[in-house]
Structure 1
Amino acid sequence: MSQSASPPSQPASPPQPESQAQPESPAQPADGNPFAQQQVPAPDAVQPGAVPTPPAPAAPPRGNVALGLVAAVVAAVAAAALYGMVIGLTKHEIGWAAVGVGFVIGLAAGRLGGRNPALAIAATVLALGSVYLGQLVGEAMIGADQLDVSFSEVFFQHFGVVQDAWKEEADPLTFLFFAIAGWAAFSGARKAAG
């Protein structure tokens, strides 16, 4: 009779001491990014010894029609004064100055007022008024220089005479400058709001 012998059992491997045990690796996220589980300090937390940085200045508000209109009016008055000084000093109307008047007004309206289409129209009207006022200022400067009197005397005390002088000297080029300034204001407001 034959006896079946069970195969000799293999000796169990001796237990490994803890120093030789394999360290457990942290579970990696499904996306394979090993840094995904790292703690990131909160932006408000200031590291010891670090100088805190001040917050960035707030951007000017956009989309406020009233603010855009006020900015356009202020820009129109300032642009009229500068345009009048250019005319008074050079004794000529200059096309690029009319473009600048319109663009500055449109930029102010669009940047602060946003995309409201009424602002582009308001900027156009303000640019026309600004060019007209600037031409009157230039006319008054030229008249004051010729009469050897002060600008304020001519402009404020003889405003009707200044307007009559403007009417006499107005030519098609004068009205072209109105159109240029109006176009620059309208397109400037639309682009600045974009």
Structure 2
Amino acid sequence: MSQSVPPPQSGNPFADAPGTGPAAPQQPFPQAPAPARDNLVLGLLAALVAALVGAGAYGGIGGALEREIGYAAVGVGLLVGFAAGKAGGRSPVLPVAAALLSAGAVYLGQLVTIAVLLGKMGEGSFTEVFFQNFGGVTELWKLAADGMTYVFLAIGAVTAFAGARKGSA
């Protein structure tokens, strides 16, 4: 005598098959571990590296165009802040540290700009001007600094603060 199987209720011929009940299906691969978050040291290190890279880019762009550009300060701030937030997580120290590092990166980028411009004027190579005459470069920065110079420093800092908060979300 053969046993008859009642027709499925949902119209799906596989709905009532064995093993399709409410039990959760087995995952074929193990889950990857969650990324490390809320690591203050890693966030600070990432922000420092990003600040050095941003300072070089800011100085290179300023030297190539022979003037400062506010959008470059925004870019430095976003780079530093986002790196700090992504690598370090939600630590309340990171946005403040990113703002300070970004302001320092914009300042260093302005010094690099001056050294590039002096190198173009025949005062020597960039490395000679920047490393052997660093005091002269900083004195020249002090003489050339105006209100916009400080606005660029503030723009970089504010953008980094916001970028660190956004990057950690």
- Identify the TM-score tier after normalising by the shorter chain: 0.7 to 0.9
2:58 and 2:109 mapped to 1: Cα distance?
5
**1:3-58 CA distances to partner (integer Å, 9 max, x unpaired)?**
xxxxxxxxxxxxxxx25xx62549x9xxxx7468428874338xxxxxxxxx7876
The number of equivalent residue pairs is 162
Distance 1:36 1:184, change over 3 A: farther
- The whole-number CA distance in structure 1 between the counterparts of 2:67 and 2:32 is 43
Alpha-carbon deviations, 1:68-107, whole Å to 9, x = none?
Answer: 1100000000000000001111111000000000010000
Please say if 1:193 is aligned against 2:156. no
- In the alignment, is residue 133 of structure 1 matched against residue 108 of structure 2? yes
| Aligned-pair Cα RMSD in Å | 2.6
Aligned residue for 2:28, secondary structure, equals coil
Aligned structure 1 segments of 4 or more residues deviating by more than 2 angstroms: 33-45, 55-61
Residue in structure 1 matched with residue 92 of structure 2 by the alignment? 117
Aligned positions of 1:123-162 closer than 5 A: 123-162=98-137
TM-score (norm 1): 0.75
Per-residue CA deviation, residues 115-137 of structure 1 (Å, 9 max, x unaligned), is: 11100000000001000000000
Deviation at 1:159, TM superposition (A): 0.6
Q: Is the 8 A contact 2:123 2:129 kept in 1?
A: no
Report SS of the residue matched to 1:186: helix
- SS of the counterpart of 1:125? helix
- Aligned match for 1:94, one of 60, 69, 74: 69
Consecutive unaligned residues of structure 2, counting only runs of 5 or more, are 10-14
Bigger CA radius of gyration? 1
Partner of 1:23: 4
The residue that corresponds to 1:44 in the other structure is 28
Amino acid corresponding to residue 23 of structure 1 in structure 2: S
**1:164 corresponding residue in structure 2:** 139
Gaps of 5+ in 1: 1-17, 46-54
Tell me: higher relative CO, structure 1 or 2? Use CA pairs within 8 A at least 6 residues apart.
Answer: 2
Distance 2:130 2:119 in 1: 9
C-alpha separation in 1, matches of 2:43 and 2:33: 17
CA–CA distance in structure 1, aligned partners of residues 72 and 18 of structure 2: 58
TM-score normalised per structure 2 = 0.85
Cα displacement (A) at 1:149: 1.4
**Structure with greater helix percent:** 2
